[in-house]
Amino acid sequence: MSRRARRVLRRPLVLLLTLGVSACSVGPHLKLPAAPPPAHYGAHDPNSAHSAVSMSAALSWTATQNAAWWRMFHAPQLNMLIAEGFSHSPTLAAAKHALTAANEYAIAQEGSLFPTIGLGGGLQRNTAIRSVVGGRVVVPGKPFTLASAEGQISYSADVFGLQTDLIANSRDRAEVSAAELDDARIFLAGNIATAAISYAGNEAEVKLRTRIVQAQTQILGVMNSDYRFGAISDESVEQQKAVLAASKAKLPLVTAARDDARHRLDYLIGTTPDQPVPAFDLKDLVPPTNIPVVIPSVLVEHRPDIVAAMAGVKAASAAVDASTAAMYPSFNISGAFGAGSAVALFNPASEIFSLASSFAAPLFEGGKLSADKKASYALWQQATAQYRNTVLLAFRQVADALRSLQGAEASLAQRQAAATFALNAQTLARERYDAGAITYQTLLNAELLAQSDQVAALTARVTCDQDIVALFVAMGDASPTTPVDNANGSNKS
């Protein structure tokens, strides 16, 4: 390209690049909604000496505990199951791919701030309509080849910040995807823990009811002997048979519930029901006695669904700014330089270049741009309302989880005490029945009460453990990435 051509091409580029650098966004730049957290979660302050609600949970939360709350149960099998889920869950894999796509779209959008440079060329074989050879006109003319090669450059100056606003929107959408990935991790860990506890609880109930059936079978054998010697009536024997049959009828239902929990666990960790899973026993769980609870301000800052909702508000605000900037003119410049010749492509005389600049200003588009701006503003209002709803729901979920856990802990203590007393009463009743001091009906009542209280205590234990998991899930995860290492069960918290 000649010096003159380069000089002519340089000036408009410098001008538009300067405009691009000094671009300013003309959008309204809507403010983010404020969400002042309450002083505490429940209707009563748990730290107050006059509170009517007794809170056993401590308002303390370390990064180590929050990053892997399930390790606070000190159960290596549970750690292994959650690690398996993080590695093989299709749901989590889908969320990871969604985040990758969102990040790549954001990078692609950032490319709009830079000039685009391309290279083109061609080779064309033509025949002239007429040509002169040695002073004589030849029809048709002599064939010739036309060759061309050129470089192209174009640039859109972001004078009013349209591209900047679109980039901000894509970045905020990527932030939404990142928060959704964290949320998927939290719910996956919570669902795995809940399913594992259900599986272990049902397995423990199967063993308990099996022992009950065995004990009742032994009692029936003793009663049959007593009946043959005339010590008891046939009515007592028939009652014992009915109790035994009822106990046997419950066993298949509990076994089916155990298998259902196992199948749910298989699904969550990304495997099929025919594959083995780590053995898990309810006795392996050591629930934390002093549960750390995030304070409300930390909940708003770090709970993933709240972070995602806030990022959605920012993305909607950027969309409002972009729809506003779209109502202003756009400036573009394009240029091409190269060579084209039917004789010698790289001959200086064959140099070609072109330069064009343009701007476009919307004057009348049937109300489209105005409607787009109003629609984007309405979507921002929607995102803002959804953010407030998400915050309120988070406070409610934590408050509900805390209150449920309080009730579950109190119930578990009473159920365990009742089971202990009922077992003692059953032992005493059996001894007195063997000594002939009480009737069979008294013994039967003691047995049924002991069995009922044992099952109730087991159910209360499962409920309490699952309520602890629900509280951890409600509090969310303050760490940006949930670690999946150290799955061998060591607990450093």
In the prediction, which pLDDT does 30 show? 87
State mean pLDDT over 399-412.
90
The answer, yes or no, to whether residue 13 has pLDDT greater than 60, is no
Find the Cα–Cα–Cα–Cα dihedral 187, 193, 195, 201, rounded to 10°.
-150
State mean pLDDT over 333-344.
69
Bigger pLDDT: 337 vs 477: 337
- Cross-strand pairs, 352: 338
Do the domain assignments include residue 490? no
- Helix ranges, 52-161 (H): 63-67, 76-88, 90-110
The answer, yes or no, to whether residue 454 has pLDDT greater than 50, is yes
Domain that residue 244 falls in: 24-117+158-335+369-475
Judge contact between 60 and 47, C-beta under 8 A.
no
What DSSP line would sit under 7-32, residue for residue? HHHHHHHHHHHHHHHT----S--PPP
H/E stretch holding 376 reads: helix 368-434
Number of H helices, E strands in the chain: 10, 6
Residue 152, phi-psi category: left (phi > 0), alpha (psi -120 to 50), beta (remainder): beta
* pTM, rounded to two decimals: 0.79
- Helix ranges, 156-303 (H): 162-228, 234-268, 296-302
Six-digit token string for 293 = 């609870």
Do the domain assignments include residue 150? no
State mean pLDDT over 234-242.
89
Q: Residue 487's pLDDT band (boundaries 50, 70, 90)?
A: very low
Six-digit token string for 290 = 């002093």
End-to-end CA distance of the chain: 69
For 231, residues 6+ apart whose C-beta sits below 8 A from its C-beta are none
Do the domain assignments include residue 134? no
Phi, psi of 437 (to 5 degrees): -85, -20
Q: Which amino acid is at 422?
A: A
Choose among 20, 89, 67: nearest CA to 269.
89
Q: Residue 467's pLDDT band (boundaries 50, 70, 90)?
A: very high
Choose the weakest-confidence range: 65-69, 290-294, 454-458. Answer: 65-69
- Structurally, the chain folds into a number of domains equal to 1
Q: What is the pLDDT of residues 168-189, one digit of tens each?
A: 999 999 999 999 999 999 999 9
Do the domain assignments include residue 131? no
Do the domain assignments include residue 188? yes
Do the domain assignments include residue 146? no
Do the domain assignments include residue 458? yes
Choose among 342, 7, 406: nearest CA to 144.
342
Q: Residue 490's pLDDT band (boundaries 50, 70, 90)?
A: very low
Do the domain assignments include residue 397? yes
Residue 405 CA, distance from chain mean position = 24
In the prediction, which pLDDT does 469 show? 93
Six-digit token string for 105 = 């779209």
Residue 63, phi-psi category: left (phi > 0), alpha (psi -120 to 50), beta (remainder): alpha
Bigger pLDDT: 198 vs 60: 198
Bigger pLDDT: 36 vs 288: 288
- Which CATH number do you get for residue 100? 1.20.1600.10
Choose among 303, 284, 313: nearest CA to 397.
303
In the prediction, which pLDDT does 252 show? 95
d(CA 253, CA 258): 9
The answer, yes or no, to whether residue 73 has pLDDT greater than 80, is yes
Q: What is the pLDDT of residues 77-135, one digit of tens each?
A: 999 999 999 999 999 999 999 999 999 999 999 888 888 888 888 888 777 666 666 66
For 153, residues 6+ apart whose C-beta sits below 8 A from its C-beta are 13, 115, 116, 117, 118, 334, 335, 336
Q: Residue 193's pLDDT band (boundaries 50, 70, 90)?
A: very high
d(CA 238, CA 310): 67
Choose among 33, 67, 364, 42: nearest CA to 189.
67
At residue 370's C-alpha, the angle toward residues 367 and 373, to 5°, is: 145
In the prediction, which pLDDT does 457 show? 95
Q: What is the pLDDT of residues 417-432, one digit of tens each?
A: 999 999 999 999 989 9
Judge contact between 399 and 44, C-beta under 8 A.
no
In the prediction, which pLDDT does 8 show? 45
Q: 3-state DSSP helix/strand/coil percent for the chain, to nearest 5? A: 60, 10, 25
